[in-house]
Amino acid sequence: MDYKDEDSQEKTDELGLPETLDKKRRVLKFSILKWLVFLFFILYFVLSSYRVPLLIKLGEYLIVEHKAQKADLIVCLGGKGVENALAAIDAYKKGLAPYIFRAKEIKPDGLDYLKETVKSYPTNFDLFTLITRGFGIPEKVILSSEDRVGSTIGEARLVRKFMLDRGFKSVIVITSLTHSRRAWLTFKKVFKDYDINIISLPSHYQLFSPKDWWTKRKYAKELIIEYQKLIYYKLAYRI
């Protein structure tokens, strides 16, 4: 008489899989879980032990500052109006360059309508010239263009056109500390086919410090946004 020996058959789980296979899968899952827990504790230990040095490095990386030297032109980038303007004025008064270039930003929506009523409403460029005039900088020193820009890459391209038209060979780029690496990389990219010396002299009127930026909400937010922009520029413009 033919019959099946139930005890000799391999037992199966609720999915119909052999129990030996199911056990192997559970062992594998447990092994992976152990490694994940182990890696989590290693990461936690590293971040706990080296948190402050890592945070300092994040702040330091954004800053590119060269030794001050003479150039044909000082470029004051937009953004941090007061901080950048003061640094540009200092550079001019030290005799580092005979001219200061400041681009005009793209007009905000509604500006023309606003000026119909508030005729003396100042733009960022107007505020810049007001500051330079207050420090006794001659009007002929301040240069600009009727072309308007709304980004760092736009400013760099406008400066390139301006310098090539005038035969300038060197430029001092003044911006905030946190913006200085992206600005320097952007200018290097835009001028890569030209023999132009680019000198980065960020403004120390900005009170950002790599040693404690994470303790101040303003600078923590600024650093995070700047890293986002830096990543975007690397992907979009290959800086």
**Residue pLDDT tens, the chain, 239 long:** 554 554 445 555 555 555 666 666 776 676 777 777 767 766 766 666 678 899 999 999 999 999 999 999 999 999 888 999 999 999 999 999 999 999 999 988 998 899 889 888 888 999 999 999 999 999 999 999 999 999 999 999 999 999 999 999 999 999 999 999 999 999 999 999 999 999 999 999 999 999 999 999 999 999 999 999 999 999 999 99
Q: Which two tokens stand for residue 189?
A: 């990219």
| Distance (Å, whole) CA 77 – CA 173 | 7
Write the DSSP symbol of residue 105. E
Crossing angle between the packed helical segments 19-61 and 217-237, to the nearest 10 degrees: 100
Q: φ, ψ for residue 73 (rounded to 5)?
A: -155, 140
Closest by CA to 75, choosing from 166, 7, 11, is 166
For the full predicted model, state whether its pTM sits above 0.85.
no
In the numeric block, the tokens 């403004």 are attached to 203
